[in-house]
Each structure stands twice: as structure tokens, then as C-alpha cells.
Amino acid sequence: MKKNLLFRKYLLYDILAALLVWVAFVIFRKTINDIRIFDSIHVLIPNYDYVGSLLLFPFYCIFVHYLSGIYLNSHKKDRISLILSTLVSSAIISLSVFFVLKLGDVTVSHEYFYISLLVLFTLLFWFTFILRNIVFSQIQRNYISKKWTLNTLIIGTGENALRIADDIEKHSSQNTIVGFVSIDQKARIPSSKILGNLSQIDSIIEKNEIVETIVALDDDANEKELFRIINLLYQFNIEIQFTPRLFEILIGSAKIVKLGISPLVSITKPSMPDWQASIKRLVDIVVSVVSLTVLSPVILYYSIRIKADSHGPVFYWQERIGQYGIPFKILKFRTMFCGSENGTPQLSSANDDRITKLGRMLRKYRIDEIPQFWNVLKGDMSLVGPRPERRFYIHQIMEDAPYYCLLYKIRPGLTSWGPIKIGYADTVEKMTERLNYDIIYMENMSLMTDLKILMYTFEIIFKGKGI
């Protein structure tokens, strides 16, 4: 199964549907109003030409469809979500074409106006849904025939692992259990189905083309063992789930993915709905482009100031750990003297004498983080998300908080609930405390939450409480 191929198919069919809808709607308008399409080309919008609208309409439709989240995880969409997504996006497109673009002639009666709106919505919904349903039906046939399958690996060999495997084999047409990985527990799985142990996990995942893993420990396993395994799996680009304990069930983290299958907690599935995740990424891109453009004089000014203030480069690149545990280079204005760490990571504090005089001011108002809009634009980070840490400190944090790996689920950010509540973390203890707030944010992610966090962040910046 190729996810990119599915994305391209949905995209192509949505463009085709938009073109067919626009042509059909023009024909409808011509039939009612006897509009001359090729002579006086004022078909849908006063002073708006037919060819231009024919090219613009599909792009606008794709933009709205993207915001609906239909193109994210398209291989896992069910028919209900397909119908709802198509219904909502069709309604938004139809209403905006009529009211935002002021479609229609001023002399047209209200009755005809609403009939035209209904016709456009109906055409858009049915053309889009029918073509999408062709792709969806093909996906379902491929899963049922096992032409496509989600190769699934179960970590564990006890009673819990046996029950999960039995549920999946009976009730899931998408997943295929390729085998089990043994850990230190009493085995209930035949030895022929055990592919190896955790020390061989790299070769097992690569050889069997694993796309999903389920950590199924028995009840007597400790929490540290669970998160040790999860942290080990994060280096692979696969979906990770685990069977919940009572705590996860009570707080609502355990979800029933398919009827008949025991509830599972997904570590890699985003907490936000797909449509909010799409809008969040769009906002990241737009704000980053605008910020880098508008603040370019500020960036130039402080680049000159930093160069004149102390010896060394203007910008400072540092490796941080991002989404899925993948390292990336974070970009900041340099605020310390060169050679301040000498290869050994050291936490900084407000009174750190390694910080330059200008650097202290840059940190106070978070000006040193302006270049990180480049990381946001690239997709390494988001505007709102847990602050990324260095691997050196992550290992220390995980000694007390092994659940740190849960943060790998989402992109790190410029700001989040943790930095707002704790402030600048100059000790590992503060990092751990900040982690707990970031976990709360992750479980309550929404566009409204992001907006509130950004407002609090602006307050911190204006009051000079960056450090």
C-alpha cells in the first residue's frame, strides 16, 4: 500500500469532480437564464470570465477539502467520515461561492438565488462523493482480498498478546499479524510465531515491512518496561499502540478502533481531529512566512548587533529531538560566547555568565527565537507544541519520567503550556515538571487551546519574562 498514491488519487478525483460540477452548473445557469457562454462571458460572477472561473474553482475546492482533513490518513477513512467530510466541505464551498464571492446577478429573484445555491451544493456533494467512493471501494476491496494489508507486530507473548491477536484475526480485514516479539514474561504463543526478542527489533521490523505495532504486556508488567519499549519503537516510522490499564480507560485515552477489538491507546495518532491538524499546519506556514517577511529588518538589525557584540557566528544551530524521535537542527540567534559548552551540554540560567550582554536582552524578550520560524516553515516545529530538548537531557528526564516519549507524538513548538507555567527550565527537575504540563496540552490539543497559549506567550514577551 502506497499512501502517496492514495493521496494523489483522491486529489485527482476531487479536481475532476470540481471541473464537472462547474461545467454542469454553468449549463444549469444557461438553461435557466439563457446565458451566452462564449459570447458575453459573464456566467457566474458579474465581470468574471468563464475560463478564469473554470481554473480557479478546482483550486479553491482542493483548498477547502485540505482543510477538512480528508487527505490525512486517507487509507484509514471509513465511509461515514467520507460522507461527513464531503458534506461539510461542499456546504462551505457552495456558501462561500455565493456569499463571499457575491455570486449571482442583482436582478435575480431570491427564489432563483436559493435554487442555484441548492443546485451547486447538490452537484458538488454528489460528484465529489461518487468519485471518492470509487477510490474508497477500491481500498476496501484491496484490504478484503489481502492485496493490501497493514503488517502488524505484537510485542509480548502472554495472555494479553494472545487475546489481542485473536481479536484482530476475527474482526479486522486491514491488519495481518505477522508475528510476536518475546519479552520477559510467560509465553502463551507458539514458538513458531515468535520472530525474536527486543534486541532484534530493527531487523524484524525491516524484514517483515511492519507498519503497526501493539505493545501487549500482561498486567504484572511495570510501567517503566512499557515506556522503555515504546521509546525503542519510536525510532521507526510506524504506528504504535498499547493495551490500556485502568488509568488510561478512566481518563478516556483508550479508544475502540473497530468493534470486536479490545480498546487500544495510540501513541502515534495525533490528538487533534484531522481537520484541525490541517488548519494548524496551514496557520504554521502562513504565520511563518509572514513573520520571516515582516521581521526581516529585525533579523538583519540583530544580526549586525550580534556580530559586533562578540566574536562568532550570528546564528546557532543545535540538535534537538522532534516528532517521532527524529533529530533536527534548531535555529536561534547566538546568545552565548563561542565555546561555552566545550562539547558537554550545560543548562543555562538567568545569571549565567556565558550569556553575552546582548544575548541576555534577546532571551528576555525571546528575540533569539525569531529564526525558529524557519524550523516551523520546514515542518520541524509548530507554533504551539512542547519545547524540543536535547537527547542528553531526555535520557536524564526519562529516569524519573519514562513517559517523556509520549511527546514524540506531536511536533515540538515555539511555545506551549509547559514553558508558560514553568518558565525557563534551568534544571532537569524543572524540565520534568514542564513535561507534565506538555502532556496535559497534548491530551487537550485544539485550535482554541493553541490560540490561548499564543495569547499567554505574547503577554510573557511584552513583559520581558523570557528568562
Q: What is the DSSP letter of 387?
A: P
Three cell numbers at 65? 477539502
| pTM, 2 dp | 0.82
Which amino acid is residue 124, in one-letter code? L
Give the model confidence (pLDDT) of 364-390 as tens digits.
Answer: 888 999 999 999 999 999 999 999 999
Using pLDDT thresholds of 50, 70 and 90, give the confidence band for residue 298: very high
pLDDT digits (tens, 9 = 90+) for 51-98: 667 788 899 999 999 999 999 877 778 889 899 999 999 999 998 887
Three-class SS of residue 290?
helix
Residues shown for the chain? 467
Average pLDDT over residues 207-234: 84
Residue 322, helix vs strand vs coil: coil
User: CB–CB of 422/248 below 8 Å?
Assistant: no
Residue with cell 504554521: 284
Distance CA 295, CA 74 (A): 37
Span 138-164, pLDDT tens digits: 888 888 888 888 899 999 888 888 888
Could you tell me which CATH number the domain at 150-266 has? 3.40.50.720
Beta strand spans in 15-168 (E): 150-155
Q: Which residues contact 205 (CB under 8 A, 6 or more apart)?
A: 153, 213, 236, 238
Predicted pLDDT at 38: 45
Q: Residue 241: beta bridge partners?
A: 214, 266
Average pLDDT of the chain, as a whole number: 83
DSSP-derived secondary structure for 258-315: STTSPPBEESSS-SS-HHHHHHHHHHHHHHHHHHHHHTHHHHHHHHHHHHHHSSS-SE
Cα–Cα distance for residue pair 146/151, rounded to 1 Å: 11
pLDDT at 452: 92
The burial of 89, by beta-carbon neighbours within 10 Å (0-12 exposed, 13-18 middle, 19 or more buried), is given as: buried
Cβ within 8 Å of residue 151, ≥6 positions away = 176, 178, 208, 209, 210, 211, 212
Residues sharing a CB contact under 8 Å with residue 301, sequence separation 6 or more, in sequence order: none
**First-to-final CA distance of the chain:** 48
Domain boundaries, the chain: 3-144, 150-266, 274-462
Identify whether the C-beta of residue 189 lies closer than 8 Å to the C-beta of residue 272: no
3-state secondary structure of 417: helix
Q: How far apart are CA 330 and CA 177, in angstroms?
A: 39
The DSSP element (H or E) to which 180 belongs, if any, is strand 175-182
